[in-house]
Amino acid sequence: MDLCRSPRPAAAAADKALHMLSVLQGIGRGGPTDGWMTRRRLAEFGLTPRDCRAARQASRGRIILGQRGYKATADSSIEEIQHAAHTLSSQARAMLAEASELWRVYHARRKEI
């Protein structure tokens, strides 16, 4: 076993998700942030912006992202969850459209060869 290698990316992201979730659930609802935490604040708990993105993606829907930062889904209102889902769906459609354009360029360039 190579002790210098980092753990599998998926396992590491899942561990970060659990850590981030425990931080987010620790602040809960109410108070000045109403459960939202920015990346800057999460950095105080050892989470980099990359860690935050990976953790949210690995959280299996237990962490949402909004304009105010990150929040545990369990502490979120139905409207906050709906808004986060709509935002992700919109981003996915935009990324698929961009990928489609890239494939068109790719195929046009291949015909030139």
Instruction: For domain 1-76, give the fold.
Output: Arc Repressor Mutant, subunit A (1.10.10)
51: burial class by Cβ within 10 Å (0-12, 13-18, 19+)? buried
| % the chain with pLDDT above 70 | 88
Q: Which helix (H) or strand (E) holds 112?
A: helix 78-112
At residue 69, the pLDDT reads 96
For residue 91, pLDDT over 60 is answered with yes
pLDDT level of residue 1 (50, 70, 90 thresholds): very low
| Average pLDDT of the residues in 89-113 | 95
| Average pLDDT of the residues in 45-70 | 96
Higher local confidence (pLDDT), 8 or 70: 70
pLDDT tens figures, 2-51 = 555 555 677 888 999 999 999 999 876 666 678 999 999 999 999 999 99
64: which residues sit within 8 A by CB, 6+ positions away? 56, 70, 71, 73, 76, 80, 81, 84
At residue 96, the pLDDT reads 98
Task: Tell if the pTM clears 0.85, that is, is over it.
Answer: no
